[in-house]
A and B are shown apart, each in its own frame.
Chain A
């Protein structure tokens, strides 16, 4: 059972544009929603995370929007740069149990 669904599978954005990745979850017990960035041959790196009591969190060019009633959350990358080209994973976990359930990943390519 896939508990975190992620779309799109791949995304091509021009430099300076906005990249948007969407995720939906099923388990209402999830209370922590991180996003990870992974470059080829490397482990995932924590990018930004949100708790369900907040509807939006911004860190630099990265923003998470969270809709608890719809059980959806999304990552927006503003002013996308070629260096942002990587695979992005949304994820979710429950407090007190740090098993992280990952989405299927979105391969982002930012073209000059």
Chain B
């Protein structure tokens, strides 16, 4: 079975530009979460979506937005890119929400470099 897939693998953008990252969850999984991992640190939670609705938001500015589609895939958008947005962006999927199971499975990530 295919795991979580993300595209693109790598991306280079200029300050001020906008970027869209894509994620396809494991088949049958309805919940998608996005994380930002800066080099040398642990992942930081950005968003969680379940059944196309936002169910959680981390401490990130409004420049970050996301959505989930009817097929449960998801997009993360970042506007007005800053140098500090350079990071590995991870998508994780899980099968449920309330009451578990809680296991989240991560994709390989999209490496974003802002110059």
Contacts and interface: CB of A to CB of B under 8 A. Distances in A.
B99 A46 contact: no
B106 A43 contact: yes
B64 interface: no
B41 A95 contact: no
A101 B63 CA distance: 22
A43 B36 CA distance: 11
A111 B42 CA distance: 24
Interface residues of B, number: 29
Contacts of A91: 42
A41 B102 CA distance: 25
Interface in B7-43: 31, 33, 35, 40-43
A76 B10 CA distance: 34
B113 interface: no
Contacts of B97: 96, 98
B45 A32 contact: no
A11 interface: no
Interface of B: 4, 31, 33, 35, 40-45, 48, 55-56, 58, 90, 92, 94, 97-100, 102-109
Interface of A: 6, 32, 34, 36, 41-46, 49, 89, 91, 93, 95-105
19 contacts: A32-B100, A34-B102, A34-B103, A34-B104, A42-B109, A43-B90, A43-B92, A43-B107, A43-B108, A44-B106, A46-B103, A49-B102, A95-B100, A96-B98, A97-B48, A98-B97, A99-B58, A103-B42, A105-B42
